[in-house]
Amino acid sequence: MPPSVKNLEVWSYRIPMRIRFEHAAAGRSTSTGILVRLELEDGAVGWGEGIPRDYVTGETLESAVRIIREVYAGRLAADAPLAEPPLEEGSVAHNAAWCACELAYLDAVGRSRGVRVADMLAGQLGLKPRRLLRRVSAIISAGPLAKVRRNLRMMRLLQFRDYKLKVGKDAAQDEANLAECVRQLGRGLKRRRGPTRRTLRVDANGAWDLAEAVRRAETLARYGVIAVEQPLAKGNEAALAELRRRTSVPIMLDESLITLREAEDRVRGGQVDLFNIRISKNGGLVQSLRMAALAHRRGVDFQLGCMVGETGILTAAGRIFLELQGRRARFAEGSYGRFLLRSDITRERLSFGYGGFVRAMAGPGLGVHVQAHKVRRLARRVLRIEFD
Domains of the chain and CATH, by start: 5-114+371-386 (3.30.390.10), 134-358 (3.20.20.120)
CB 176 within 8 A of CB 191: no
Q: Which residues contact 68 (CB under 8 A, 6 or more apart)?
A: 8, 10, 36, 97, 100, 101, 383
Alpha-carbon distance of 330 to 301, in angstroms, equals 7
Block mean pLDDT (10 aa), the chain, length 388: 88 92 74 97 97 96 98 95 95 97 98 97 92 93 92 94 96 96 92 88 96 96 96 95 96 97 97 98 98 96 95 97 93 92 94 94 96 96 95
DSSP 8-class letter at 356: G
pLDDT of residue 24: 60
pLDDT of residue 28: 80
Q: Alpha carbon of 292 to those of 70, 159, 215: distances in Å?
A: 30, 28, 31
Q: How many CA atoms lie within 13 A of 9 on its CB side?
A: 14
Beta-sheet pairing, 357-358 with 138-140: unpaired
Strand runs (DSSP E) across 297-387, as ranges? 301-304, 331-332, 357-358, 379-386
Indicate left, alpha or beta for 190 from its phi (over 0: left) and psi (-120 to 50: alpha): alpha
pLDDT of residue 25: 61
Residue 341 dihedral angles phi and psi, to the nearest 5°: -90, 140
CB 147 within 8 A of CB 165: no
Separation of CA 339 from chain center = 17
Residue 344 dihedral angles phi and psi, to the nearest 5°: -125, 165
Beta-sheet pairing, 134-135 with 357-358: antiparallel
* Number of residues that this document lists for the chain: 388
pLDDT of residue 244: 96
pLDDT of residue 1: 58
Q: Alpha carbon of 238 to those of 93, 154, 241, 248, 272: distances in Å?
A: 20, 39, 7, 18, 11
CA angle centred on 180, ends 175 and 185, rounded to 5°? 125
Q: Which residues contact 335 (CB under 8 A, 6 or more apart)?
A: 136, 306, 315, 318, 319, 350, 351, 352, 358
Helix (H, G, I), strand (E, B) or coil at 28: strand
The residues with which 201 forms a beta bridge, in sequence order, are: 164
Alpha-carbon distance of 320 to 225, in angstroms, equals 29
In the chain, the amino acid numbered 368 is: V
CA angle centred on 299, ends 281 and 229, rounded to 5°? 45
Alpha-carbon distance of 263 to 269, in angstroms, equals 10
CB 97 within 8 A of CB 282: no
The residues with which 229 forms a beta bridge, in sequence order, are: 203, 252
